[in-house]
Structures are given as structure tokens and as C-alpha cells.
Chain A
Amino acid sequence: MEFGEESSPALAFEKDAFELTVEDVYDISYVIGRDLLKISSTGEEVSDLQFRIVRVLEMFEALVNKSNLSVEELKMERDNLKSELDRLGRLGTVTGPNQLLVDLTDPNRPRFTMQELKEVLQERNQLKAQLMVAQEELQLFKSGILPQAEPAMVEVDLDTPDSTERNPATLSDVKEEKTTIGKL
């Protein structure tokens, strides 16, 4: 134990400067202090020198301490960025200038295409148009203008030229938008 205590503080002198810890600085201080005791007689010069050496060692301690903390901070920063990058990577979306980052856990995230919306709106409007026609007819039947047997009052023109049932190729070409209101 004694031997160990004796020899280990001196090892601090062998270390790489950038790997020094505050403990190493204490070891160095200890060794220098011990050596100073050996040469010390009385005398102004020596005690002045001792004072300065102590001061320098204190500054050394502060510098090592600071540099160790900075390294620690940078390491944490790096780890945070790494895990953030992993998280974004898992979302599968790499964001570029014209790209949108989609949060897959957001129940309100966009998930339908413009084409799908278009089709839904078309169908909605078509049904709305048909409802209006039906309501109109109903009104006329009710008011007795039409005998029951008559054919439909308002002609529902069901063939929508070109637009609907063709092969998909033409479908996309044709400006098919409004197949809807052929019936009004």
C-alpha cells in the first residue's frame, strides 16, 4: 500500500497531456511539493518560487478541469444528435427542399392522394345532383302534376360521354373532371 502510494503519483508525469484528469494534477502537485520540501532551506527566493509554483499548479488544475468538462459536453451533444438522426431515419422521410416530413403517429397526417380526393368529390357531387333530381320528381309526384305511371320527370342523362368507363389510359387523358352533372 505504501509502495503503491509512493510510486503512483509520479505516473501522472508520464501521461499524455490531453488525457490528464484533475486527479493527475493533484498527483503532480503532490510530487512537486514533496520535491520542493527536499531542496527547501530558508530563504526568500525559494519561498517566492514555491508560491508561484503553487499558483501555476492551480491554473493547471483549472485548465484541465475545464477541458475535461468541454469534452464531456461535446460527447453528450454528439450522442443527442446521433439519436435524433436515428429517429428521423426511422420515420423514413429524408427531408429535402421540396419534401414534407410526415409524422406517422399523427392521426391527422395527410394520407390520401389528390386523385383520391378528386374521385370522392366527384362522387359526392354526383350523388348530390341525383338527390336534387329525385327531390324534384318527388315534389312533382306529390303535387299530383304527374300521374304515377309516367316516366321520370327529369331526364336523367346517364351516358356521360367519354368520361367515365373507358380504359384507364383514356381516362387519365381525357379531361374527365365533371362527369357529374350530365343529369341535371
Chain B
Amino acid sequence: MAKKTYDLLFKLLLIGDSGVGKTCVLFRFSDDAFNTTFISTIGIDFKIKTVELQGKKIKLQIWDTAGQERFHTITTSYYRGAMGIMLVYDITNAKSFENISKWLRNIDEHANEDVERMLLGNKCDMEDKRVVPKAKGEQIAREHGIRFFETSAKANINIEKAFLTLAEDILRKTPVKEPNSENVDISSGSGVTGWKSKCCS
């Protein structure tokens, strides 16, 4: 009897240095708004947004992590359940770019092997303060075989595109199973990936 309001549920995760704009990127996507006041995320938060792809209603549950090192143990425990991870750096902050390799290593250590990864160079509206050339972002993404976008949460550049692309990439890998996708179980409690362990909670 119970009908779902969506066909699939994807869990995404935002990671990257503190202050690169992860929360703003998410806020732009979920609420189409932007806030200039910087409030550091405490530990972990999430937002929900339902999108439609290939005729399927897909509920995106997007986890927003704190970039600060002191929350590391909390945030890394959320990697496991993620089907897609967005690694965000700030094009006006060289350190946040240098730390990409550290974040990629975190993914290797804590996330599922087949997690979809994506690199975002945020704040691309601030061309005058840019210190990381676009080509460098593209290069490191190529080296790791992942997608790359330069984004601006403030100017609303490439935000939706990035999320939809990531969702499409996950959808492509998702086995088309039981048409009554009744039990899209994403309780990652047991540590299994959502879309692999569908039917059996």
C-alpha cells in the first residue's frame, strides 16, 4: 500500500578543507540561496533534494561535513555509506588545493571502493583572487580519473550541473532491479552500501 515519493535514494557526501564553501554549495543546490556569513559546520549535517533523472525520481540525501580537523573522527565515519563524494577546494586558497591528495587518501581509507568521486573548484566568481589555475584542477582530476567542475555557490555557476552529473554517474552504475523499488534501504547502519543491499533490511 505504502507508496514512496521517490524511486531511488542516493547518498552523497561533501568533503574538503574548512571554509572552501561546502555548506554554501549545498545550500545553493537545496534551497537555491546563498549566505555570506561564515558559520563553521559542527561535525555533520545533511540536506535532502529530490531530482528527476531518466524518468526516475531520485532523492538525494547530501551529507555536509565539517572541514575542520577536530571533527575528523566524526566525519570519516560517514564516508562508508556514501555513494558519491564531492571533494571541494577553493580556487582562492592554495592550501585547500594542496590538501586534495589528503582528502583523496581519506576516501581511499574510509569510503567504499566503488564510490563515485568528483572534484569541485569553488568560488570561481572571485577571478581577481584566484591562485589555482583551472588547468591545475583539470589536471589533478584527470590524474585520478574523476570529473571536475569549477563552481560558484555565490554566482550559481555549475552547482546544479555538478550534483546532477554525479547523480547520473551513480544512476548509471545502479543495477535496474525490482521495478517496485519498494525498499530502497539506505540504512547504512550495517556498513553496507545503500544500493547494493537494497532488498534485505
Contact = CB atoms under 8 A, between A and B. Distances in A.
- For this complex, into which size category does the number of interface residues on chain A fall? 20 to 34
B190 interface: yes
B15 to A, nearest CB: 15
Interface stretch (A16-24, A72-80, A146-154): A146-154
Contacts of B185: 157, 182
B187 A121 contact: no
Nearest to A120: B43
Nearest to B184: A184
Contacts of B74: 114, 117-118, 121
Interface of A: 114, 117-118, 121, 125, 128-129, 132, 136, 140, 150-155, 157, 159-164, 174-179, 181-184
Q: Which 7 A-B pairs have the closest CB atoms?
A: A182-B187, A163-B189, A177-B77, A160-B189, A162-B190, A161-B190, A121-B43
Contacts of B157: none
Nearest to B72: A114
Nearest to A136: B5
Interface in B55-111: 59, 61, 73-74, 77-78, 80-81
25 contacts: A114-B73, A114-B74, A117-B42, A118-B43, A125-B45, A132-B48, A151-B2, A153-B3, A153-B5, A155-B4, A155-B182, A157-B183, A157-B201, A174-B190, A174-B191, A175-B191, A177-B77, A177-B81, A177-B188, A178-B81, A181-B61, A182-B185, A182-B189, A184-B59, A184-B186
Given A176-B189, A182-B185, 16 more contacts: A118-B74, A150-B1, A153-B2, A154-B2, A155-B183, A157-B185, A157-B187, A161-B189, A161-B190, A163-B187, A177-B81, A178-B77, A178-B187, A182-B201, A184-B59, A184-B186
Interface residues of B, number: 31
B189 A164 contact: yes
A46 to B, nearest CB: 83
Contact of A117 (B43, B59, B61, B80): B43
B44 A121 contact: yes
Nearest to A182: B187
B9 interface: yes
Contacts of B78: 177-178
A85 to B, nearest CB: 30
